[in-house]
Structure 1
Amino acid sequence: MSPRAALIYLMGGKAADGTPISAKYVGDKRLIETAIATLATDRALLLLGMPGTAKSWVSEHLAAAVSGDSTLVIQCTAGTDENQIRYGWNYAQLLAHGPSRKALVQTPLLRAMEAGKLCRLEELTRMGSDVQDTLITVLSEKMMPVPELSTAVYAVRGFNVIATANNRDKGVNELSSALKRRFNVVVLPLPDDMEQEIGIVVKRVGEMSQALELPAPRNVAQEVARVVAIFRELRGGATLDGKVTLKSPSGTLSTAEAIGVVIGGLSHAAFFNGGALSAEGIAPNMIGAIVKDPVQDKVVLEEYLETVLKKRSDYAAYYHLLSDLV
């Protein structure tokens, strides 16, 4: 796709022939424009943000839009080594015939270089700094040295890298300054506007419930608004009107988690509550999202229930159910 077509694919709109295109990402259009413009150059792209800000989702759809293939992906972990980034060897071939191109096992990064496509690196900061730095030559010179064969693989035009990283996790490996310079960083934020966040959750819940073949739910928008309000207050450390300061739990309480909570409630409604979405199905799922630390987060939630939710008549069902569960 052209850069403009890729933007329409991600943000929604109409194709040249008038075909409506659904939005894949709901947020600041300028962020996606910057990401696409970066990939049109030789510079790699790093999508940075808290968990649940659609980094992997945007990465996948950018790769699909730009190069028509989103499957060239490396999931980075603490156990990821150089062989999983650069290349490996088929030891049976290596022992039988010695070092040869036939014995070389290509990684997704190497396949992307040879095909002129995008390679996705998920959770880049989770792998060790020494392994991260193997990317420097690839990103700066667009080539992969293979000293065992006295040769190098040069990237075909169109090759680039999209990496994602979580800026909240503790214990991750910071990128070296040399590697940072090779990335253009785009920070994907949580939705600033409550109505926008409600819209995202309602839209995604509708898509997922259809994919899971759950019956068309009732009262979705109303219950989603309540879930989002609770999440935003706990996440932001204050009530929506700013009058009461709150403690925040250890979790992120992201939009993605709100979607998961509502989907869990929908499943409960479909099978146990006659199709009506209610606090009865949502509250147990909400506990799992809020109380990650059974000691600290439990105190935070109990305080929120007594100081805020108890006083709201329209949240009475949530107050009683969450109080019983916590």
Structure 2
Amino acid sequence: MSDGTTTTGALVAPDRLRPHAEEAYADELVALAAVDDRPRPPRWRLSPRAVVTYLVGGTLRDGTEISAKYIGSRRLMEVAVATLATDRALLLLGVPGTAKSWVSEHLAAAVSGRSTLLIQGTSGTPEEAIRYGWNYARLLAEGPTPAALVPSPVMTAMETGGIARIEELTRIPSDVQDALITVLSEKTLPVPELGQEVQAVKGFNVIATANDRDRGVNDLSSALRRRFNTVVLPLPADVEDEIRIVTTRVAELAGSLELPEPPSAEEEIRRVVTVFRELRAGVTADGRTAVKSPTATLSAAEAISVITSGLALATHFGDGTLTAGDVAAGLVGAVVKDPVSDRVAWIEYLEVVVRNRPGWAEFYSACREVT
């Protein structure tokens, strides 16, 4: 809305670089709720079917268009949403760049209207981040009292019937992970210092994400894994789906960064997606030429970054038209993570595949120049 508020009345700062999902898509959430006549689990803002529509997009009965937040299998989203309607937590698993965090945020926004109850997992995440902490000034002055207790996002979600999000669960040390076992199995969080416990109210659940390249870092214990239903988010299987993902997200990012929309970025987007898919697969799209795969993941997320960087170059140092030269530097940086093995694989790909591909001469020259 022009006055900086959403239709729900929430204030959105006009210069906010990235509003939360429930703010950025408030109009869509309100429209869905208005026509949603299906049963809703306790404290859910929408029915499970409406949550899936919010994620994958569609046209409502009143003609409102709901944009697709996830481009891929609808069935995967149905399984994820159905899991949240049970007593099992949801684990979104996949390689980097498969939209795990993006899906997690939008699920929480659509289900509970709040995506900000977030724990970022790292090797230094303490148990207090999952359970609770203390205001030490008040603790020293008053001793352990409810006023001195600092609730974690998980505790807050339990008390309000919301969704708690845990990013990169397998980055968290195993002994800290296990603090979730009682929460997920008994739906309670003991606070022995106060002689009480927090019991989860209906609607509470947890969405965790994990990178399957982190296997062996801090693997989940069998006891904890049983408390999760795992949904694996794959890389896009279809080239057109991947192009659509990149095009949509680039347009959104360009808008938030106030970059003008280029006359046409479709050709360069298709080119970058093609390069990434061929290098990931280790073979060209026609299946005729084997190529070496670099160590980088080369997901849609990296393609979005490459194109967005190219748009910035075209806007500030060119005539606004996205060219091969604008995307080349970012593309090489995305592919060549290991300066030895990745550089060999990239140069071989340029000479064997790109050099002889019709219509790619300018792209080849630009990549060779920055390589």
- Which of the five TM-score ranges fits, normalised by the shorter chain? over 0.9
Aligned to 1:89: 134
Question: How far does residue 75 in structure 1 lie from its aligned partner after superposition?
Answer: 0.2
Aligned to 2:69: 24
1:143 to 177, 188, 192: 188
Aligned to 1:15: 60
- Report SS of the residue matched to 1:168: helix
Question: How far does residue 244 in structure 1 lie from its aligned partner after superposition?
Answer: 1.2
Aligned to 1:243: 288
* 8 A contact 1:8–1:15 mirrored in 2: no
Query: Where does structure 1 lack aligned partners over 5 or more consecutive residues?
Result: none
- Report SS of the residue matched to 2:193: helix
2:366 to 297, 313, 321: 321
* 8 A contact 2:325–2:367 mirrored in 1: no
User: Following the alignment from structure 1 to structure 2, what is the Cα–Cα distance between the partners of residues 14 and 233?
Assistant: 34
Map residues 130-279 of structure 1 onto 2, 5 A cutoff: 130-169=175-214, 172-279=217-324
CA RMSD of superposed structures (Å): 1.1
1:3 to 48, 62, 75: 48
User: Following the alignment from structure 2 to structure 1, what is the Cα–Cα distance between the partners of residues 343 and 238?
Assistant: 27
Q: Which has the higher helix share?
A: 1
User: Following the alignment from structure 2 to structure 1, what is the Cα–Cα distance between the partners of residues 84 and 246?
Assistant: 29
Give TM-score, length-normalised by structure 1: 0.97
Q: 1:88-112 CA deviation, whole Å, 9 max, x = no partner? A: 1111111112111111111111111
User: Following the alignment from structure 1 to structure 2, what is the Cα–Cα distance between the partners of residues 279 and 24?
Assistant: 28
Q: Which has the higher contact order (CA 8 A, sep 6+)?
A: 1
User: Following the alignment from structure 1 to structure 2, what is the Cα–Cα distance between the partners of residues 206 and 140?
Assistant: 42
Q: Which amino acid aligns with 1:145?
A: P
Q: 1:234-292 CA deviation, whole Å, 9 max, x = no partner? A: 11111111111111111100001101101111111112221111111000010111011
Question: How far does residue 218 in structure 1 lie from its aligned partner after superposition?
Answer: 2.1
Q: Do structure 1's residue 33 and structure 2's residue 78 form an aligned pair?
A: yes
Q: Which amino acid aligns with 1:242?
A: G
User: Following the alignment from structure 2 to structure 1, what is the Cα–Cα distance between the partners of residues 137 and 314?
Assistant: 55
* 8 A contact 2:171–2:214 mirrored in 1: no
User: Following the alignment from structure 1 to structure 2, what is the Cα–Cα distance between the partners of residues 2 and 294?
Assistant: 50
1:112 to 147, 153, 157: 157
Q: Which amino acid aligns with 1:302?
A: I
User: Following the alignment from structure 1 to structure 2, what is the Cα–Cα distance between the partners of residues 55 and 114?
Assistant: 25
Q: Which moved more, 1:269-278 or 1:138-147?
A: 269-278
Q: 1:149-196 CA deviation, whole Å, 9 max, x = no partner? A: 111110111000000000013662111111111000000001011111
Instruction: Percent identity, please.
Output: 62
1:72 to 113, 117, 141: 117
Query: Where does structure 2 lack aligned partners over 5 or more consecutive residues?
Result: 1-45
